[in-house]
């Protein structure tokens, strides 16, 4: 333990506590285990660091953290350790917690393996593998040859660590041929992706699919003939789990139409949403499962199958909850009060506010590959009313401010001509913008003369990503204060799976943006999806307006807008929260209002 534990480390600690209590399993520890696991989940899903909440005395405001856990976490933040936690953990060999990383090995089996095989604290899995290969596990009571094989398989998987989640764009590519294959079978009435893909999460683990059919057996058989099929991991009457190219796991579930609604609900998840929903249902005397709804006080009560998902939620007295909101936050409460937001949709989007053309702006970053004309053509296909060209700023090295202004003037002229010769279509105006680097000290590499040539400027970070939180915040605030700066683009700088978010004091950034009427971008590039969904929700709560931009470097990239809309929806965004869901006239009015404020 240490004083500055981050949320992931704390969650891991709480899970270790849960495991310890489970191993010691006394009569009343069962629910204590659940409590610690709930607390771990809560911490993992938190949008701000727990340490910061503790600083503000708000630990117990986190649902799942009560007086006891709060007290002990507080002790850790203050002194670097919790005597109670250490006391409990000290009774369990450290090796046990490492073994929990193996699938199929939970607390009980991990403990027995560690004790009976006398596994070392260091590299216990390595020793376990050696013993398993020598047949030592099969001889343990309660274990057998099958268990030994399973454990070896888990160790192999652990060693390969294929624990990487896919980008949502990748998951969509992978799922399409499977859905197409399923639909070739006449028995398939409906075939749809569920799980995190249906909830439109930013990254996807496994692919979950559901089929509605009157003939489950035949559909299963058909699926097993999938031309790109890999190893079949698991199989039952109503489900198959198999690998497809790219080592992607596909779980298919098959139900009859009469219970398809409950299946959709169940396997769309999330786990947290389902748990919360079932707890809510219990209070109404109802028990929920993938097969339907059961009345508890009715002794002869059977499961009533539910055919449609809308009906499933209606039976519970709830509004239908869009999958994007099903994360176990407060969506059930909102649905009960008929208070769910009307989420923004792709068809509401009337503009793309970050596009890079091939106009040679002499930047040190990437140029786009499509011409302005090609991009306007694409924008018309997408039925947009306006777009903004946001090439990177000309490189500072090798250009004087005077030269930079000259380049910007050239682009201004080109856009003026473009605006006077717009082809027939929905596009009415093209804006002259620029994506400008925020330098490490918060200055911008474009002077005020240069900035004044633009209709408005986007600013974003492309260097020095690891500044400490206060410095980073000051840096961004300084840049946001330049004249004509309107949009803070891909604000966390994250690249999913590759680069962590920068550290920012969001409270301060949001208040500044609110005060100065600066907008924050939701970057729709599937590698970025930035602002992330949970911060979108916080921003909206603070009254911040958001823009959508694809960051397209070719006209094809403009198709990524839907991923940005996904993020907006997961952040509970309504149409009115999104700047470019407004028509041109409203947009221009907002631009002017903004100038007046600053």
Q: Is 366 in the site for DNA (CB under 7 A)?
A: no
Q: Which of 289, 401, 501, 511 binds DNA (CB under 7 A)?
A: 289
Pick left, alpha or beta for residue 493 (phi over 0 → left; psi -120 to 50 → alpha; otherwise beta): left
At its nearest, how many Å lie between DNA and the CB of residue 21? 8
Query: Locate tokens 């708000």: which residue?
Result: 58
At its nearest, how many Å lie between DNA and the CB of residue 264? 15
**Distance between CA atoms of 40 and 57, rounded to whole angstroms?**
19
Structural tokens at position 554 = 């070719």
**Distance between CA atoms of 268 and 213, rounded to whole angstroms?**
18
Stretch that binds DNA, among 116-124, 274-282, 442-450, 485-493 (CB under 7 A): 274-282
Quick note: the x/- pattern for DNA over 48-67, rule CB under 7 A, is ------------x-xxxxxx
Pick left, alpha or beta for residue 346 (phi over 0 → left; psi -120 to 50 → alpha; otherwise beta): alpha
Q: Is 144 in the site for DNA (CB under 7 A)?
A: yes
- Angstrom distances, CA of residue 121 to CA of 85, 151, 430: 19, 19, 64
Q: Is 258 in the site for DNA (CB under 7 A)?
A: no
Q: Is 150 in the site for DNA (CB under 7 A)?
A: yes
At its nearest, how many Å lie between DNA and the CB of residue 150? 6
Q: Which of 290, 324, 352, 385 binds DNA (CB under 7 A)?
A: 290
Dihedrals φ, ψ of 554, to 5°?
A: -155, 165
Smaller CB separation from DNA, 315 or 567? 315
How many residues are listed for the chain in this entry? 598
At its nearest, how many Å lie between DNA and the CB of residue 247? 15
At its nearest, how many Å lie between DNA and the CB of residue 37? 9
Smaller CB separation from DNA, 65 or 344? 65
Q: Is 274 in the site for DNA (CB under 7 A)?
A: yes
Q: Is 70 in the site for DNA (CB under 7 A)?
A: yes
Smaller CB separation from DNA, 310 or 336? 336
Whether 2 and 44 have beta carbons less than 8 Å apart is answered as no
Q: Is 145 in the site for DNA (CB under 7 A)?
A: yes
Structural tokens at position 557 = 């990239």
CA angle at residue 573 from 571 to 579, to 5 degrees? 125
At its nearest, how many Å lie between DNA and the CB of residue 67? 5
At its nearest, how many Å lie between DNA and the CB of residue 130? 19
Q: Is 409 in the site for DNA (CB under 7 A)?
A: no
| Nearest of 119, 100, 104 to residue 37 by alpha carbon | 100
Whether 436 and 396 have beta carbons less than 8 Å apart is answered as no
Smaller CB separation from DNA, 30 or 373? 30
Q: Which of 5, 11, 13, 39 binds DNA (CB under 7 A)?
A: 39
- Angstrom distances, CA of residue 541 to CA of 57, 60, 295, 556, 569: 21, 21, 38, 33, 14
Q: HSE, CB side, 13 Å, CA atoms: give it for residue 389.
A: 30
DSSP state, 52? H
Distance from first CA to last CA of the chain, Å, rounded? 48
Q: Is 340 in the site for DNA (CB under 7 A)?
A: no
Smaller CB separation from DNA, 208 or 391? 208
Q: Is 147 in the site for DNA (CB under 7 A)?
A: yes
**Distance between CA atoms of 251 and 243, rounded to whole angstroms?**
9
Q: Which of 4, 8, 79, 104 binds DNA (CB under 7 A)?
A: 104
Whether 246 and 162 have beta carbons less than 8 Å apart is answered as no
Stretch that binds DNA, among 169-177, 211-219, 229-237, 576-584 (CB under 7 A): 229-237
Q: Is 597 in the site for DNA (CB under 7 A)?
A: no
Whether 259 and 286 have beta carbons less than 8 Å apart is answered as no
| Nearest of 492, 397, 406 to residue 453 by alpha carbon | 406
Stretch that binds DNA, among 30-38, 212-220, 431-439, 488-496 (CB under 7 A): 30-38
- Angstrom distances, CA of residue 365 to CA of 161, 196, 356, 392: 34, 34, 11, 7
Q: Which of 24, 54, 75, 106 binds DNA (CB under 7 A)?
A: 106
What single string gives the DSSP state of each residue in 128-166? HHHHHHTTTTTTSTT--HHHHHHHHHHHHHHHHT--PPE
Stretch that binds DNA, among 106-114, 351-359, 431-439, 535-543 (CB under 7 A): 106-114
> Which residues, at least 6 apart from 437, have a Cβ–Cβ distance to it below 8 Å?
392, 393, 444, 445, 459, 460, 461, 462, 463
Whether 518 and 551 have beta carbons less than 8 Å apart is answered as no
Q: Is 236 in the site for DNA (CB under 7 A)?
A: yes
At its nearest, how many Å lie between DNA and the CB of residue 140? 9
Q: Is 203 in the site for DNA (CB under 7 A)?
A: no
At its nearest, how many Å lie between DNA and the CB of residue 295? 11
| Nearest of 473, 440, 435, 477 to residue 457 by alpha carbon | 435
Q: Is 142 in the site for DNA (CB under 7 A)?
A: yes
**Distance between CA atoms of 67 and 60, rounded to whole angstroms?**
7
At its nearest, how many Å lie between DNA and the CB of residue 30? 7
Q: Which of 4, 6, 8, 34 binds DNA (CB under 7 A)?
A: 34
At its nearest, how many Å lie between DNA and the CB of residue 25? 7
At its nearest, how many Å lie between DNA and the CB of residue 453? 54
Stretch that binds DNA, among 231-239, 351-359, 473-481, 562-570 (CB under 7 A): 231-239
Q: Is 298 in the site for DNA (CB under 7 A)?
A: no
Smaller CB separation from DNA, 250 or 487? 250
Number of residues that bind DNA (CB under 7 A): 62
Q: Strands 519-523, 485-488: parallel, antiparallel or unpaired by DSSP?
A: parallel
Q: Is 227 in the site for DNA (CB under 7 A)?
A: no
Give the binding site for DNA (CB under 7 A). Answer: 22, 25, 28, 31-32, 34-36, 38-39, 60, 62-70, 84, 102-110, 138, 141-148, 150, 234, 236-237, 251, 271, 274-275, 278-279, 281-283, 287-291, 294, 303, 333, 336-337
């Amino acid at each position: 333990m240490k004083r500055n534990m981050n949320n992931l480390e704390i969650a891991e600690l709480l899970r270790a506590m849960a495991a310890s209590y489970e191993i010691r399993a006394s009569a009343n520890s069962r629910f204590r285990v659940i409590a610690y696991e709930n607390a771990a989940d809560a911490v993992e899903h938190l949008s701000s660091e727990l340490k910061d909440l503790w600083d503000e005395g708000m630990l117990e405001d986190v649902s799942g953290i009560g007086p006891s856990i709060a007290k002990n976490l507080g002790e850790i933040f203050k002194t670097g350790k919790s005597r109670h936690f250490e006391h409990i953990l000290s009774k369990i060999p450290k090796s046990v917690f490492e073994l929990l990383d193996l699938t199929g090995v939970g607390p009980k089996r991990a403990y027995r393996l560690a004790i009976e095989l006398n596994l070392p604290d260091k590299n216990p899995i390595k020793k376990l593998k050696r013993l398993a290969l020598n047949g030592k596990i099969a001889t343990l009571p309660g274990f057998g040859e099958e268990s030994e094989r399973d454990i070896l398989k888990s160790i192999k998987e652990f060693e390969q660590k294929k624990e990487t989640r896919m980008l949502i764009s990748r998951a969509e590519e992978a799922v399409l041929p499977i859905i197409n294959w399923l639909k070739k079978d006449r028995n398939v009435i409906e075939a749809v992706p569920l799980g995190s893909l249906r909830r439109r999460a930013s990254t996807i683990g496994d692919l979950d699919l559901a089929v509605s059919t009157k003939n489950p057996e035949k559909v299963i058989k058909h699926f097993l003939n999938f031309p790109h099929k890999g190893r079949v991991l698991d199989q039952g009457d109503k489900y198959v789990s198999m690998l497809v190219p790219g080592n992607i796991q596909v779980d298919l579930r098959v139900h009859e139409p009469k219970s398809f609604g409950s299946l959709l609900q169940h396997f769309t998840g999330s786990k947290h949403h389902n748990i919360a929903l079932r707890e809510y249902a219990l209070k109404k005397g109802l028990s929920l499962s993938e097969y339907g709804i059961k009345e508890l006080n009715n002794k002869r009560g059977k499961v009533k199958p539910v055919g449609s998902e809308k009906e499933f939620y209606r039976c519970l007295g709830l509004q239908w909850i869009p999958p994007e909101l099903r994360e176990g936050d407060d969506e059930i409460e909102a649905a009960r009060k008929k208070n769910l937001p009307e989420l923004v949709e792709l068809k509401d989007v009337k503009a793309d506010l970050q596009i890079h053309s091939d106009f040679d702006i002499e930047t040190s970053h990437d140029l786009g590959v499509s011409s302005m004309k090609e991009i306007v053509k694409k924008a018309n296909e997408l039925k947009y009313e306006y777009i903004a060209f946001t090439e990177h700023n000309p490189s500072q090295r090798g250009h004087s401010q005077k030269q930079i202004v000259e380049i910007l003037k050239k682009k201004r002229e080109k856009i003026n001509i473009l605006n006077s010769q717009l082809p027939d279509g929905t596009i009415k105006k093209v804006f002259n913008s620029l994506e400008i680097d925020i330098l490490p000290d918060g200055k911008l590499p474009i002077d005020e003369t240069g900035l004044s040539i633009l209709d408005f400027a986007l600013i974003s970070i492309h260097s020095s990503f690891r500044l400490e939180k206060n410095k980073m915040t000051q840096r961004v605030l300084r840049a946001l204060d330049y004249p004509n700066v309107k949009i803070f683009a891909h604000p966390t700088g994250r690249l999913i799976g590759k680069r962590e978010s920068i550290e920012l004091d969001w409270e301060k950034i949001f208040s500044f943006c609110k005060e100065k009427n600066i907008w924050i971008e939701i970057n729709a590039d599937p590698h970025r999806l930035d602002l992330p969904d949970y911060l979108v929700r916080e921003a909206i709560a603070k009254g911040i307006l958001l823009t959508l931009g694809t960051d397209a470097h070719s006209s094809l990239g403009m198709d990524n807008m839907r991923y940005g809309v996904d993020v907006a929806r997961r952040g509970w965004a309504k149409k009115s929260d999104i700047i470019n869901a407004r028509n041109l006239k409203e947009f221009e009015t907002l631009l002017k209002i903004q100038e007046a404020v600053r």
